[in-house]
Structure 1
Amino acid sequence: MSNIKKATFAGGCFWCMVKPFDQWDGVHSVISGYTGGKLENPTYEEVKKGNTGHYEAVEITFDQALISYETILDLYWKQIDPTDAGGQFQDRGNQYRAAIFYQDEEQQEIAAASKQALGDSGKFSKPIVTEILPAAKFYPAEDYHQDFYKKSAKEYEEDRAKSGRDEFIAEAWEK
């Protein structure tokens, strides 16, 4: 069991943060939820108001013998705008900010080095503002949010299409 690890990332709406990780060998689960706030057992309605301090986030359980934290981190960067401190794409507010929540010192060091390398790469003209924070208690979101891209495919596709996320990814990461 020592190969089983967790990675927690915030990248705007958690609906859009599940599918990119869910389809990789070695990823056991991707759970939508809330982390980093002051309220115990927050609800979606409370978090979306933006005053609980929570981020919408995903908690990824993975087998590091099959997929490394570095690979998962690389996937993460390519899902977000790391220069946006006010949210992600159409989702604005503190609850939609991007952040990496490290589980241990090794993840903290890898995340910090990765952020530095991205900043040094010159890929973005603005600074990389994605925070790297210690993992906090993670609260799974309500059941209807889990695997939303599968359970509510049409609504997921419509929301994603109007968010601007895919256009940004194509422009920033796929060129």
Structure 2
Amino acid sequence: MEKQYQVATFAGGCFWCMVKPFDEQPGIKSVISGYTGGTVENPTYQQVCTDTTGHFEAVQITYDPEIFPYEKLLELFWQQIDPTDSGGQFHDRGQSYQTAIFYHDDTQKKLAEQSKQALQKSGRFTRPIVTPILPAQTFYPAEDYHQQYYKKNRSHYESYHVGSGRAGFIQSHWRENNE
């Protein structure tokens, strides 16, 4: 019997930092860096960085829900971002670095909304959770040099992950989940 894979799409700021956490989980078939949510067809990285195309840097995850269900993907997504920041993520500012959950069906929408409400009610953050939940749009894979960046450019990725402020934020807000 063939596996029934599903797709999830998340924007969490710089897509380089959003691949590794998902890529290393069981049941994940692929994690692709790319662009979604904008108005330009087949945008380039240079175009998206101008914040004029409306695109988010995002990752598209193909996963086996029997092994790693969507609820676990959502849980892991929240642990990679500052969900209270509407202007970008960490040192990366602008529309293309904003966070969002892009749902592919009504079930994903419902689960995303429940997970956002649960995070807000948890008291983990004092400011409101502002990450929007949006319908999925066309996803354009990023250029090859962006794919699996954490493997291709390990030292630059690690210094960026720390230098951008993301690693410290994750450690201070999700310590018990990262030990």
When the two structures are superposed, what TM-score results if normalisation uses the length of structure 2? Answer: 0.96
Instruction: Provide the residue aligned with 1:94 in structure 2.
Output: 95
- The aligned counterpart of 1:12 is 13
> What does residue 60 of structure 1 align with?
61
In structure 2, what is the equivalent of residue 155 of structure 1?
156
Gaps of 5+ in 2: none
Query: Deviation at 1:3?
Result: 2.4
Partner of 1:65: helix, strand, or coil? coil
Whole-angstrom distance in 2 between the partners of 1:137 and 1:15: 20
Q: Does 1:134 align with 2:130?
A: no
Structure 1's consecutive aligned runs of 4 or more residues displaced over 6 angstroms after TM superposition are none
Query: Are 1:78 and 2:79 an aligned pair?
Result: yes
Shift of 1:2: 6.7
The answer for the alignment partner of 1:36 in structure 2 is 37
Asked if residue 122 in structure 1 is aligned to residue 148 in structure 2, the reply is no
For structure 1, the residue ranges without an aligned partner over 5 or more in a row are: none
Letter in 2 for 1:151: K
Percent identical: 59
Number of aligned residue pairs: give it.
175
Which amino acid in structure 1 is aligned with residue 65 of structure 2?
Answer: Q
- Distance in 1 separating the partners of 2:26 and 2:169: 26
Q: Whole-Å Cα distance in 2 between the matches of residues 49 and 150 of structure 1? A: 26
Partner deviation per Cα, 1:4-63 (whole Å, 9 max, x = no partner): 100000000000000000011100000000000000000000001111000000000001
Q: TM-score, normalised by structure 1?
A: 0.98
Coordinate RMSD, CA, aligned: 0.9
Deviates more, 1:160-169 or 1:100-109: 160-169
Partner amino acid, structure 1, of 2:8 = A
* Alpha-carbon distance between aligned partners in 2 of 1:164 and 1:80, rounded to the nearest angstrom: 11
Q: Secondary structure at the match of 2:29?
A: strand
Question: Residue 174 of structure 1: SS of its match in structure 2?
Answer: helix
Cα separation, 2, equivalents of 1:138 and 1:92: 21
